[in-house]
């Protein structure tokens, strides 16, 4: 087992990689736990001096002009949603009557999104060719679900060799995941 220390005294320990068996590959080691080094004790005077300074901070902030500390409004979180209905929907309730910017009345199902109309994109007429059987036999619902966000024709198998591609939500998370909590 090996340990690494990072700034701030955090120690990470790794479990050793499993031994290779015939025909198997080594597995990556995993983090066991993060341990904090014990802090050095401080004397009572240093503690009291720090507490006094901390208690005085709110009073000092009130003496400064309000403009200097005016906080800017936080940016709106970035959100993305994908809706999947494998058995179909009534498109008349979802689809706007005109193409382009949403200037006319919103369809019945989208009316609750009126406040964010300017940020809304409605994409229609999309088809996923790889969701069709393509000689793969039955299983349309499972295949369409597996293909939905990846665009890849999923390999049907009973074993562990199932494969698919990266999904659009994974790509979006890599691209803009730092802009939102979720």
What per-residue confidence (pLDDT) applies to 31?
Answer: 46
pLDDT in tens, 31-67: 444 555 556 677 777 777 777 766 666 665 655 655 5
d(CA 80, CA 139): 28
R_g (Cα) of the chain, nearest Å: 28
Question: Strands 10-14, 31-36: parallel, antiparallel or unpaired by DSSP?
Answer: antiparallel
Rounded to two decimals, the pTM is 0.43
Q: SS3 helix, strand, coil % of the chain, rounded to 5?
A: 30, 10, 60
CA dihedral (167, 169, 173, 179) in degrees, to 10, reads 160
pLDDT in tens, 17-26: 444 445 555 4
Residue 88 CB coordination number (10 Å): 6
Beta bridge partners of 34: 12
């Amino acid at each position: 087992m090996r340990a690494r220390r990072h700034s701030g005294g955090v120690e990470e320990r790794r479990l050793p990689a499993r031994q290779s068996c015939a025909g198997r590959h080594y597995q990556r080691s995993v983090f066991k736990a993060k341990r904090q080094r014990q802090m050095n004790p401080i004397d009572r005077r240093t503690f009291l001096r720090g507490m006094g300074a901390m208690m005085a901070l709110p009073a000092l902030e009130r003496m400064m002009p309000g403009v200097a500390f005016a906080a800017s409004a936080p940016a709106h979180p970035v959100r993305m949603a994908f809706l999947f209905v494998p058995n179909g929907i009534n498109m008349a309730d979802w689809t706007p009557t005109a193409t382009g910017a949403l200037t006319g009345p919103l369809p019945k199902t989208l009316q609750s999104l009126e406040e964010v109309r300017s940020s809304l994109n409605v994409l229609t007429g999309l088809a996923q060719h790889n969701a069709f059987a393509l000689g793969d036999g039955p299983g349309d619902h499972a295949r369409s679900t597996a293909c939905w966000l990846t665009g890849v024709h999923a390999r049907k198998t009973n074993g562990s060799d199932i494969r698919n591609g990266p999904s659009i939500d994974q790509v979006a998370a890599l691209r803009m995941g730092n802009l939102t909590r979720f």
